[in-house]
Amino acid sequence: MPQNGYTLLPTSSPPLGYTPPSGRPRSTRRNLTIALVTLTIGASYFVGFSGHDERLNKMATWGNDNFGEWIPSSVLGNGETRECRGWDPSRPESEDPLGCLKARQYRQTQAVLQREIEHQHEHWYFAVDHNVDTLTKMSKCFLPESDPDYTPCPEKPLVLSGWWYTATVLTETTTGEVVWQRSVLEQLEKLGYFWVGIGPYQNWIQAAEMMPDVYKTLWGSDMEVVSCATDPRCIAKEHYTPPEGAEDLSIGIPDEERGVIPLWALNVVDYWGARPKQISHNEYWWGVTEKGDWSYQPLGQEWIATPWPLPGGHFHLPYTMEEQCMALPFTPLEERRDSALILAKRSAYFHYHHVSPPEFWTNLTRVDGIDLISTANIEEGMPMPDGLETIGMQSIGGYNELVGSVKAMIGVGVPIISPSVYASLCQATPVIVPVFYDEQEPSEWRHYSGFSQHGPALRIGEPYVYSYNAKNYTELVEVVKRAMSTPIERFIPEDMRLDYTVSKLQEYLDRDLEGMMRVKVEENGGQVPALGKGLRERCHELKRCQPELAKGRVPSLPGRSL
């Protein structure tokens, strides 16, 4: 591997007539084969009868205090490699053993760490302390194994995220995106990985250029990934392909200015995914003109992770509330107040054109046995429906306590998808959501088409999730009464349980992204797939994508002074 850490994926198959080098003598190969088969059978026997149960037992007891008891099989921990013998981080970098991966990783990490400490560049101020602490701890992974501070880690232990919502996990924000990311990052740490939130865009790109041997994957928003993948000063030279029907922006750019970010490393993390034109507003946002699947990432939807099991090739990276929710006390139905909690954090939600009219909520407050509670923040010019009072925004703990004390949660229609629904079900509080119109085209996308609030939860059905026609007041009253009088147990969807979410994250991290790209290139006749027609242009037209990196800019490769 070159010292700069970038081994670019070949964009074509070996030429015809290529002959691989001759192997070992046949007798040697036969002996090695027998030994390998014997070892494989022995290992299979051991794993099959002991490892599986042991992992399941530890899965049930995982927590931040004991995850170190389980180390993934890919750790650097079976004795110092020959390439790293003599590796001493206290010596000058020029004396590092050639070919020692850990030495390169250590130097690259230290360079980014020093940059974060100095923070003389544009940065997210609230993430600096976390990044410095993380990079300091992660540096121990790359020490010689004889060092008392050495810590075993996955071979490439870092998720380098430039997505805003990853970094805002460090704040008190409770949006759906942050709830998802907070859960995934907690699981990531349990698996022995590290994460940093480095932004904005150019800061993220520069950090990625500086530590190619360290990161497992790069996370970015849809717009940031499109910006880099179509910018010849960002994406690796061998991976640059102009979007369909677009000009080649690489013409005339000197080689020393060409980008080095591998296309396979650019992964989109997105709450909504690349939804088809017919059930989204992506015709406006992205200029999508045809029905069917499409992707922000030229290689395909497999490079888009979402919290929902979306159709197509999206990778389902679920989140869980199981540990936090199951720690909350359970209140039986008969001990709860005769109240229903309105799911709406803003008074503006009651004025959206597609939700039930304000008088529905006014009238519902007058029904015997139904006391409505709202925590909405009142906005100027957006009054609450007459008769519906709000107790104001609550702390996370206060809101959880409130959810567990009522007999139902009622959605008004906004937000379209909210984690609060799952927090409610986990506390045995049924949820009621509106349906806005009949499905015109029933399809596998129907639960993400906006025909109802929280389509994924609606699939669960009664007695956990009820629905009402947003324009039918009589049906609303009937459904609320039925939900409030029907006891249920705590409910957590199977794909939101801790063991499942951790297994999906491990699957995500174990993917061979370079190999996946190689297949995509081969399927495309040896050419790197291009971004769909018009996507980049529309993104720039709306000023959502980032400007191209500046003329004269040279990538910040490892070892290159900045």
Domains of the chain, first to last: 322-491 (3.40.50.2000)
Q: How far is CA 382 from the centre of its chain?
A: 34
Q: If we measure between CA atoms, which residue out of 129, 138, 264 comes closest to residue 198?
A: 129
392 in the Ramachandran plot: left (φ > 0), alpha (ψ -120 to 50) or beta? left
Q: Are 107 and 559 in contact (CB under 8 A)?
A: yes
Pairing of strands 431-435, 215-220: unpaired
The reported pLDDT for the residue numbered 215 is: 98
Q: Read off the amino acid at residue 548.
A: E
pLDDT of residue 449: 84
Burial class of residue 163 (count of CB atoms within 10 Å of its CB; 0-12, 13-18, 19+): buried
Average pLDDT of the segment spanning 309-317: 94
> Is residue 441 very low, low, confident or very high in pLDDT (cuts 50, 70, 90)?
low
Sign of CA dihedral 216, 221, 227, 233: negative
For the stretch 323-347, pLDDT in tens is 999 999 999 999 999 999 999 999 9
Q: What is the pLDDT of residue 559?
A: 74
* Alpha-carbon torsion (217, 218, 219, 225), positive or negative: negative
pLDDT band at 439 (very low <50, low <70, confident <90, very high): low
The type of residue at 407 is K
Q: Is 66 helix (H, G, I), strand (E, B) or coil?
A: coil
Confidence of residue 257 (pLDDT cuts 50, 70, 90): very high
Cα atoms found within 13 Å of the Cα of residue 227, Cβ hemisphere only: 22
| Separation between Cα atoms, residue 381 and residue 315, nearest integer Å | 41
* Sign of the Cα pseudo-torsion (417, 419, 425, 428, in order): negative
Question: Highest-confidence range of 14-23, 189-198, 278-287, 447-456, by mean pLDDT?
Answer: 189-198
Query: Do the beta carbons of residue 468 and residue 482 sit within 8 Å?
Result: no
Q: What is the pLDDT of residues 161-187, one digit of tens each?
A: 999 999 999 998 889 999 999 999 999
Rounded distance between C-alpha atoms, residue 404 and residue 321, angstroms: 14
Residue 37's pLDDT band (cuts 50, 70, 90) = very low
- The pLDDT value recorded for residue 561 is 52
Given a cut of 60, whether residue 29 has pLDDT beyond it is no
Could you give the dihedral angle defined by the CA atoms of residues 287, 288, 289 and 291, in that order, rounded to the nearest 10 degrees?
-170
* CB neighbour class for 91 (10 Å; exposed up to 12, middle 13-18, buried from 19): exposed
Cα(486)–Cα(468) distance, rounded to whole angstroms?
A: 16
Pairing of strands 431-435, 465-469: parallel
pLDDT at 51 over 60: no
Is the pLDDT at 9 greater than 80, yes or no? no
CA distance 548 to 527: 23
Q: Locate tokens 């997210």: which residue?
A: 124
Tell me which of 64-68, 314-318, 356-360 is least confident: 64-68
CB 533 within 8 A of CB 245: yes
Percent helix, strand, coil in the chain, to 5, is 40, 10, 50
Residue type, 233: R
* CB-side neighbour CA atoms (13 Å) of 392: 1
Number of C-beta neighbours around residue 20 at 10 A = 6
Q: Rounded CA gap, 128 and 385, in Å? A: 43
Question: What value does the mean pLDDT take over residues 525-547?
Answer: 97
Number of H helices, E strands in the chain: 18, 11
Between 20-24, 257-261, 485-489, 509-513, the lowest mean confidence (pLDDT) is in 20-24
Look at residue 448 in the predicted model and tell me its pLDDT. Answer: 87
Average pLDDT, rounded, for the chain: 87
pLDDT digits (tens, 9 = 90+) for 114-173: 999 998 889 999 999 999 999 999 999 999 999 999 999 999 999 999 999 999 999 988
The answer to whether residue 442 scores a pLDDT higher than 70 is no
Here the tokens at position 273 are 């995914």
For 33, 233, 259, the CA distances from 193, given in Å and listed in that order, are 35, 29, 27
